[in-house]
Amino acid sequence: MAQRSQDKHAAGVPVVTDPAKIRNVVLVGHSGAGKTTLVEALLAATDTIARAGSVTDGTTVCDHDPAAVRQQRSVSLACAPLMHDGIKINLLDTPGYADFVGELRAGLRAADAALFVVSAVDGMDAATAALWEECAAVDMPRAVAVARLDHPRADFDEAVALCQRVFGDNVLPLYLPMLGDDGVSTAGLLGLITRRVFDYTGGLPAQVRQPDPEHLPAITESRDELIEGIIAESEDETLMDRYLGGEEIDAEILIEDLEKAVARGHFYPVVPVCAATGVGVDVLLEVLTAGFPSPPEHALPAVTGVDGSPRPPLTCDPDGPLVAEVVRTTIDRHVGRVCVVRVFSGTLRPDQTVHIAGHGLAERGHPDHDADERIAHLYSPLGATLREVGVAVAGDICAITKSGSAETGDTISAKDDPLLIAPWEMPEPLLPVAIVARSRSDEDALARNLARLVAGDPTMRLERNPQTHQLVLWCMGEAHADVVLDRLRAGGVELDTEPVKVALRETLTAPATGHGRHVKQSGGHGQYAVCDIEVEPLPRGAGFEFVDRVVGGAVPHNYIPSVEKGVRAQMERGLLAGHPMVDLRVTLVDGKAHSVDSSDAAFQTAGALALRDAAAKGRPALLEPVDEVTVRVPDGSVGTVLGDLSGRRGRVLGTESDPESEGRTLVRAEVPATELLRYAVELRAMTAGAGTFRRHFVRYDPMPEHLADQIRKEHA
From CA 247, how far away is CA 253, in angstroms rounded?
A: 13
* Encoded amino acid at 437, one letter: A
Q: Which of 136, 265, 283 is nearest to 208 (CA)?
A: 283
The mean predicted confidence, pLDDT, of the chain is 90
Non-local (6+) Cβ contacts of 209 within 8 A are 196, 197, 199
Q: Which of 552, 559, 514, 553 is nearest to 533 (CA)?
A: 514
Least-confidence region, from 34-38, 294-298, 401-405, 696-700: 401-405
From CA 517, how far away is CA 500, in angstroms rounded?
A: 39
Query: What is the tens place of the pLDDT at every residue in 550-565?
Result: 998 899 999 999 999 9
Burial class (CB in 10 A: 0-12, 13-18, 19+), 195: middle
**Per-residue buried b or exposed e for 504-524, using 16+ beta carbons within 10 Å of the residue's own CB:** bbbbbeeebebebbbeeeeee
Q: Which of 627, 630, 676, 692 is nearest to 655 (CA)?
A: 630
Asked if 377 and 400 touch (Cβ cutoff 8 Å), the reply is yes
The secondary structure of residue 294, as a DSSP letter, is P
What are the DSSP E strand ranges found in 290-383? 303-305, 323-332, 336-345, 347-348, 352-358, 369-375, 378-382
Is the model's pLDDT at 549 over the cut of 90?
Answer: yes
Q: Which of 503, 506, 502, 535 is nearest to 621 (CA)?
A: 506
Asked if 338 and 349 touch (Cβ cutoff 8 Å), the reply is no
500 three-class SS: coil
Confidence of residue 440 (pLDDT cuts 50, 70, 90): confident
* Cis before 423 (ω within 30): no
424 three-class SS: coil
- β-sheet bridge partners, residue 398: 341
**H helix intervals, 293-412:** none
Q: Which of 56, 78, 52, 53 is nearest to 65 (CA)?
A: 78
Asked if 191 and 174 touch (Cβ cutoff 8 Å), the reply is yes
Most confident of 136-140, 505-509, 711-715: 505-509
Cα distances from 526 to residues 18, 522, 566, 595, 598, in angstroms, run 88, 6, 19, 11, 8
- pTM attached to this predicted model: 0.87
From CA 544, how far away is CA 487, in angstroms rounded?
A: 44
Confidence of residue 7 (pLDDT cuts 50, 70, 90): very low
Is the model's pLDDT at 716 over the cut of 90?
Answer: no
376 three-class SS: coil
Least-confidence region, from 33-37, 58-62, 70-74, 535-539: 70-74
Query: What is the tens place of the pLDDT at every residue in 328-347?
Result: 998 777 777 899 999 999 99
Q: Which of 201, 248, 241 is nearest to 220 (CA)?
A: 248
Residues 88-101: what's their mean pLDDT?
Answer: 92
From CA 117, how far away is CA 34, in angstroms rounded?
A: 7
From CA 2, how far away is CA 332, in angstroms rounded?
A: 6
Cα distances from 470 to residues 29, 432, 436, in angstroms, run 37, 11, 8
From CA 157, how far away is CA 146, in angstroms rounded?
A: 10
Residues 601-607: what's their mean pLDDT?
Answer: 96
Q: What is the dihedral of CA 301, 307, 309, 314, to 10 degrees?
A: -30
The secondary structure of residue 404, as a DSSP letter, is S
Least-confidence region, from 266-275, 305-314, 317-326, 420-429: 420-429
- For the chain, the first-to-last Cα distance in angstroms comes to 50
* Encoded amino acid at 340, one letter: V
Helix then strand then coil, % of the chain, to nearest 5:
30, 35, 40
Confidence of residue 315 (pLDDT cuts 50, 70, 90): very high
* Encoded amino acid at 167, one letter: F
DSSP string, 591-651: EE--TTT--HHHHHHHHHHHHHHHHTTS-EEEEEEEEEEEEEEEGGGHHHHHHHHHHTT-E
Is the model's pLDDT at 130 over the cut of 90?
Answer: no
Residues 28-51: what's their mean pLDDT?
Answer: 93
The secondary structure of residue 450, as a DSSP letter, is H
For residue 93, the number of C-alpha atoms closer than 13 Å in the C-beta half-sphere is 32
**Per-residue buried b or exposed e for 86-103, using 16+ beta carbons within 10 Å of the residue's own CB:** ebbbbbbbbbbbbbbbbb
From CA 107, how far away is CA 328, in angstroms rounded?
A: 9
Looking at residue 524, its pLDDT comes to 66
Is the model's pLDDT at 675 over the cut of 90?
Answer: yes
